[in-house]
Amino acid sequence: MLPFHGEMAKKLQLKWLIFGLLFIGFLIFAFLSGLIPALRTQNRKQTKWFWPVFILAIYFTGFFIANHYVNKRLSVYYRMGHFALAVLCRAENNRLYLKHGIEMRPGYNGLYVTFEIIKEELV
C-alpha cells in the first residue's frame, strides 16, 4: 500500500475493493453465463451469445465508471495536498532556504519534496 494515511488512502482502498468485487462478480457471471446456455443447448448446435456479451458490457461499463469516479475524487485530494505543500515550501524558502542558496519545491502532486542548489557559493 502507499506510504500515506488518511482520506486518500481510504479512497484508494475503496477503489481496489470496488475493482475486486467487480472482478469477482464478473468471473461468477461469466462462468454462469457460459455454463447455463451450454447446459440448456447440449443437443442443439446453436448457442446463445447475447447474455455473455451483455454481462461483459455491464462489467466494462461498471469498471470504467468506478475508475473514473475514484480517480476524479483522488485528483482533488492530490491537488489540495500539492497546494498545501507549495504554500509550505514557499514559506520555508522565504524564511530559511533562499538565504543559504537552496530552493525547496513540491514534487508531482505533492508526493515528494525536491531541493535545488541555486547559489553554490553560499552553501
**How do the domains of the chain map onto residue ranges?**
7-122
Are the CB atoms for 7 and 81 separated by under 8 Å?
no
Q: Please give the average pLDDT of every successive group of 10 residues along the chain, which has 123 residues.
A: 59 80 80 68 62 76 80 76 85 85 81 81 61
pTM, two decimal places: 0.44
H or E element, residue 75: helix 50-92
pLDDT, one tens digit per residue, over 10-38 is: 777 787 888 888 888 877 877 777 666 66
What DSSP state is assigned to residue 41? T
Q: 120, 118, 116: which is closest to 104 by C-alpha?
A: 116
Summary mean pLDDT of the chain = 76
C-alpha grid cell for residue 45? 448446435
Q: What are the DSSP calls for 80-117, one per residue?
A: HHHHHHHHHHHHHIIIIIGGGTEEEEE-GGGS-EEEEE
